[in-house]
Amino acid sequence: MTEKTKESSSAKAMEDKEKIEIPKKFEGIVKTIEELSVLDLAELVKILEKKFGVSASAPVAVAAPAAGAAPAVEEKTVFNVVLTTVGDKKIEVIKVVRDATEKGLKEAKDLVDAAATSPQVVKENVKKEEAEELKKKFEAAGGKVELK
């Protein structure tokens, strides 16, 4: 079988499978296209793209933000300070917890001990500036903090 015959029979097989309705006004064009080789068809597509200033590639849909919608990224202004790691200077971390929370020694120690096994919230609903300052104090004391 020749290349054209293979491609033509392949196209007809696909048409038979899908049973595509071809309007009468396009029957001649479709028949001519079916008889083209793959290389000729690729060349035809390039010519049509140049001639009409279009692309045969599938368009990509981009969702536009709704009118009056808030920006996609809002800067967070209130944080929870979460102690994730105590570090080697446990006593220093306990002092920072006491200063930050105004808790007693036992409560601060219990919170730091609990943070050794799972993250613990030290302070909730803190403004960004205060949260950043607490983070620096904990890091200076050897602990690690996340701002959530």
> Is 111 within 8 Å of 97 (Cβ atoms)?
yes
The CATH label, of 3.40.190.10, 3.40.50.300, 3.30.1390.10, 3.90.1200.10, for the domain at 78-147 is 3.30.1390.10
In tens, the pLDDT along 33-87 reads: 888 888 888 888 888 888 888 776 666 555 555 555 555 556 788 889 999 988 8
The model carries a pTM of 0.49
| Residue for token pair 């613990």 | 120
3-state SS assignment for residue 76: coil
Q: Pick from 89, 141, 97: which is nearest to 122 by CA?
A: 97
Q: Answer yes or no: is pLDDT of 1 > 70.
A: no
pLDDT for 12 equals 55
Q: The tokens of 51 are what?
A: 């001639």
Helix, strand, or coil (residue 140): helix
Backbone angles phi, psi at 126, to 5 degrees: -100, 140
Q: What is the DSSP letter of 26?
A: G
**Within 10 A of 110 (CB to CB), how many other CB atoms are there?**
15
- Give me the residue spans of the domains in the chain: 3-52, 78-147
